[in-house]
Amino acid sequence: MIRLKPFLLLLGIAALVAAPIGQGNYIVYTLASWLIFSITAMGLNLTLGYAGQVSLAQAAFMGIGAYITALMTLNGIHWGLAVIVSIAASFAVGLLLGYPALRVQHHFLAFVTLAFNTLLFLVLRNEEEITGGSFGLVGMPRPSFFGITTDSNIAFYYFTLVCFVVSASAMWWILRSPWGRAFRALRENPIRAESLGLKVRRQTLLAFAIGSAFGGLAGALQAPLVQFIEPSSFALIHSLKILLMVVVGGSGFFFGPMLGAAVVILLPELLRFTEGYYLIIYSTLVIVLMVFSPTGLIGAGKKLAERFRPKHEARRDLKQGVQL
């Protein structure tokens, strides 16, 4: 079982490398957009699934990243620098928002982030001289590294894939570091975690800020992918969509956000033949999923697997412990 995992992981990456070969532009674009939303959903999963905080501003952090990257690259600054600024800015805004919100009861982060998302939308729409207002910004150049450009869709897909793998590894490392274990301890039993000397507020704040920074990175990739950004791409409804990805996939599972992003991005494409009804079918499916499996798709899969897999049972004779 444990031997299988690295093999499956390699297979997965190989599938991602092979996926766009021979596909049309639109499919390559959709796949790249899936990778980007996986990054942002991974960030939210850290906040939600591991630190147990509801953030309703993940799209706003994508917006911060996208606008900073767009403005910097349009003014001739290299993407490499822009992405660092984007990530740092989202991290800083996360700290600023989270610090006062987490001072009080824990569900207030949800309300503060909800308000922040709507406020940011208004600022992006109204400050026309900087952000282009509701017309948005157009024509962000795609980055090039050491003479290799990512102008073609397929090249940009591979570039996104590299960023995705790097950020997934970073997330893997964070979750396995003492910090990550602390996040999980907080979610499982905050009182116990505190009694073991963890600073609950500082840890939660850090989880939220790191999650926001992932949003910033996703935004920095979104801007050159779409090459057109406007305020409504980062409105509250998109934050809810990202939240949907995390929960539908399975919050608190490492691969939950990727699965959720796939469902949220790809399912509408698959249901396109139903024309106007696809959102109706889609939202019904989500409600049904939530009613029957609140732990999302991965949770449902695990439940199903447990039913068929022979149970790993401890030796019966050791069950009571060694008795002498």
Which residues are near another protein by CB under 8 A?
A: 48, 54, 100-101, 104-108, 110-112, 114-116, 118-119, 122, 125-126, 236-237, 240, 243-244, 247-248, 251, 276-277, 279-280, 282-284, 286-287, 290-291, 294
For the bound state, the minimum distance from the C-beta of residue 26 to another protein, rounded and expressed in Å, comes to 24
* 3-state DSSP assignment of residue 228: strand
Cα–Cα distance measured from residue 68 to residue 4, given in angstroms and rounded to the nearest whole number: 42
Q: Which is nearer to another protein, 29 or 108 (CB)?
A: 108
Cα–Cα distance measured from residue 68 to residue 176, given in angstroms and rounded to the nearest whole number: 31
For the bound state, the minimum distance from the C-beta of residue 236 to another protein, rounded and expressed in Å, comes to 8
Q: Which is nearer to another protein, 177 or 283 (CB)?
A: 283
Cα–Cα distance measured from residue 151 to residue 224, given in angstroms and rounded to the nearest whole number: 9
Q: Which is nearer to another protein, 65 or 260 (CB)?
A: 260
Residue 213's CB: how many other CB atoms inside 10 A? 26
Kindly report the backbone phi and psi dihedral angles of residue 138, in degrees, each rounded to the nearest multiple of 5, phi listed first: -125, 155
For the bound state, the minimum distance from the C-beta of residue 43 to another protein, rounded and expressed in Å, comes to 17
Q: Which is nearer to another protein, 111 or 145 (CB)?
A: 111
For the bound state, the minimum distance from the C-beta of residue 208 to another protein, rounded and expressed in Å, comes to 15
Residue 305's CB: how many other CB atoms inside 10 A? 9
Q: Which two tokens stand for residue 227?
A: 């090459």
Q: Which is nearer to another protein, 82 or 236 (CB)?
A: 236
For the bound state, the minimum distance from the C-beta of residue 124 to another protein, rounded and expressed in Å, comes to 12
Q: Which is nearer to another protein, 52 or 180 (CB)?
A: 52
For the bound state, the minimum distance from the C-beta of residue 285 to another protein, rounded and expressed in Å, comes to 8
For the bound state, the minimum distance from the C-beta of residue 141 to another protein, rounded and expressed in Å, comes to 31
- DSSP of 92-158: HHHHHHHHHHTTS-TTHHHHHHHHHHHHHHHHHHH-HHHH-GGG-EE-PPPPEETTEE--SHHHHHH
| Kind plus residue range of the DSSP H or E element containing 47 | none
- DSSP of 164-197: HHHHHHHHHHHHHSHHHHHHHHHHH-HHHHHHTT
Q: Which is nearer to another protein, 24 or 100 (CB)?
A: 100
